[in-house]
Amino acid sequence: MKRRKFDVAAVPGNTARAVDDRFQVATPLRRLLNKVFPDHWSFLLGEIALFSFIVLLLTGVFLTFFFEPAMTEVIYNGSYAPLRGTPMSAAYASTLDISFDVRGGLIMRQMHHWAALLFMAAIVVHMLRIFFTGAFRKPRETNWIIGSLLFWVGFLAGFTGYSLPDDGLSGTGLRIASAIMLSIPVIGSWVTAAVFNGEFPGTIIISRFFIAHVLLIPALLVALITVHLGLVFKQKHTQWPGPGRTNGNVVGERMFPRYAIKQGGFFMVVFGVIALMGGLFQINPVWLFGPYEAWVVSAASQPDWYVMFLDGSTRLMPDWEITIPIGEGYVIPPLFWPTVVLPGILVALSLLYPFMEARHLKDYRSHNLLQRPRDVPFRTGLGVMALTFYVILTLSGANDVIADKFHISLNAMTWAGRIGLLLLPPLAYYVTYRICLGLQQHDREVLAHGVETGIIRRLPDGRFVEVHQPLSAGDGHGELDYAGWVVPKKMNRLGALGPAIRGFFYPIERPAEAPVSPGHPPVEPRPEREEITSGETRS
């Protein structure tokens, strides 16, 4: 009797065939799995944001199981003794329960908060990469706009989440938000009344922010992220110029298996970093802030870092109140300019930048190759200028902490911020522009004359010159064209010296013996010199 043998090796193939027989997916899937992605470390920054968003969804779902988004007053009776017997909102009490009584609740809360900070930080870093390399140019303007919107929607997600625990810090933030809404001319009081359902703080704002934070904003984020990734897929990723890379092709790794494995691994790394931070670094100790009461405002009450620039602009704003003599006199408070007008301008500028640049350069072609920041000095300068502006505002948002810990007068910090905000960005533009030109010039110099070898030669007439290793064959004076990519500036990139040792953390190969260039015979030991004397000996 013949026993039928179960062929394990054939199982995947058979399964795949069975699936394809039913769903006919082989052809589209092959296209998908063979899709090529260019490989460069800076292309992984956006993924940090994507992966921390996934962590945000996972930890956030856990938190909703235990959070009670209500402002009904309860008497806390949990395990945190210093607040026992204190009247507080149900939202704050359940936040304390998550922190002290739910198993694993505190690390989940802290991971959620760290993941939120990382999400916003990664968005900004990713945006800087896109900006400085010109990846936003046609045909990718739409994706630039979606990315900018992702920052602002993430901003809203962060602010609503910051407000939910209803501790002293989040209530103070809400109070400021209500003041900002009130400062809008004409509609301000109506907007505030609509959002808070009457006077601040009312009894419904936590419930409203909760549904915005767990449903509306995440849905919007998911939709925007989907379109963002879909467009990257459709329009294909940009790539750096280089051998074999043109505006019309994509050189890189296939999606499956290498790219997928790398991305899976990178997700694990991001998750691990967030988990480590959630476990090691205490974030937002809500139990110390106590329940929100209108008369309790702690020193060093700051928003999370991505909102801090608005806090900073408010602190730097002079108290210019505009009174309009209509009726009994209408007042536009100074708060309106730094918190409503300024972010409005920033949003408009960031959304429109790709079109403004194309118009300025009269460049309406499609670009799939990236530019090195040094090759477009005005754009790099503008980017550094904007970054300087943002950093000064952010630092000013924490100027009381800086003043206190570095023993600087708070008034001096405010004035330094005001003056710095006007002077430093143009200065940053100028310095960046000059640095870019300098780097360009050095690239051209190497292309024209070759790489510096470090060998100094003395000419018969007594001059000293450095020997250059020409990049091109021939007489060494033919100038090469700049290809928009890294110009070799060290000998080991030319093979004249031993190549750089491979391996990231430790060498994964034996360093090769340096090959000896035929032009330069191996150096021999210096011949013994005879002492030159005058023939006489001094005694």
Partner 1 sequence: MTSDNDRRRGLFARLRGRPGAPSRGRRRLGAAVRLVAALMLAGGAYTVLAPGAAAQENPPLSSAAADGKALFDVSCVTCHGRNAQGVEGRGPSLIGVGAASVEFQVSTGRMPMARQEAQAARKPEVFTRDEIDQLAAYVQELGGGPVVPAGDDLHAGGNVAIGGELYRINCSQCHAFSGGGGALSSGKYAPSLAPATDRQIYAAMLSGPQNMPVFGDNQITPEQKADIIAYIQQTLKDDGDPGGLFNLGRYGPSTEGMAIFLVGIVALVFASLWIAGKS
Binding mask 406-445 for partner 1 (x = CB under 8 A): -xxxxxx---------------------------------
Reported for 463-468, long-range contacts at CB under 8 A and 24+ positions apart, including other chains, are none
Contact between 59 and 108 under an 8 Å Cβ cutoff? The reply is: yes
**Hey, which residues between 249 and 268 contact partner 1 (CB under 8 A)?**
253, 258, 262, 265-266
**Contact with partner 1 (CB under 8 A) among 123, 169, 428, 436:** 169
**Hey, which residues between 498 and 537 contact partner 1 (CB under 8 A)?**
504-505
| Piece of 7-15, 43-51, 337-345, 443-451 that binds partner 1 (CB under 8 A) | 43-51
Return the ∠ at Cα 160 (arms to 271 and 202), rounded to 5°: 150
Contact between 379 and 132 under an 8 Å Cβ cutoff? The reply is: yes
Structure-block tokens of residue 472? 């091109």
- Closest CB 175 distance from partner 1, rounded Å: 14
**Contact with partner 1 (CB under 8 A) among 284, 314, 388, 453:** 284
Q: For partner 1, give the closer residue by CB, 285 or 438.
A: 285
| Piece of 45-53, 131-139, 213-221, 485-493 that binds partner 1 (CB under 8 A) | 45-53
Q: Which amino acid is at 300?
A: A
Which residues, 6 or more positions from 231, have their beta carbon under 8 angstroms from its beta carbon?
140, 142, 143, 146
- Closest CB 168 distance from partner 1, rounded Å: 7
SS3 at position 289: helix
**Hey, which residues between 83 and 102 contact partner 1 (CB under 8 A)?**
83-86, 99-100
- Closest CB 261 distance from partner 1, rounded Å: 10
**Hey, which residues between 449 and 478 contact partner 1 (CB under 8 A)?**
none
Q: What is the total count of residues that contact partner 1 (CB under 8 A)? A: 80
Q: For partner 1, give the closer residue by CB, 94 or 192.
A: 94
75 binds partner 1 (CB under 8 A): no
Enclosing H/E stretch for 91: helix 90-100
Peptide bond into 69 cis (omega under 30): no
Q: Give, in order, the Cα–Cα distances in Å from 28 to each of 23, 35, 53, 236, 253.
A: 11, 11, 28, 17, 18
Contact between 393 and 421 under an 8 Å Cβ cutoff? The reply is: yes
Q: Give, in order, the Cα–Cα distances in Å from 203 to each of 64, 174, 209, 217, 493.
A: 20, 13, 12, 21, 67
39 binds partner 1 (CB under 8 A): yes
| Piece of 56-64, 239-247, 358-366, 399-407 that binds partner 1 (CB under 8 A) | 399-407
Q: For partner 1, give the closer residue by CB, 83 or 184.
A: 83
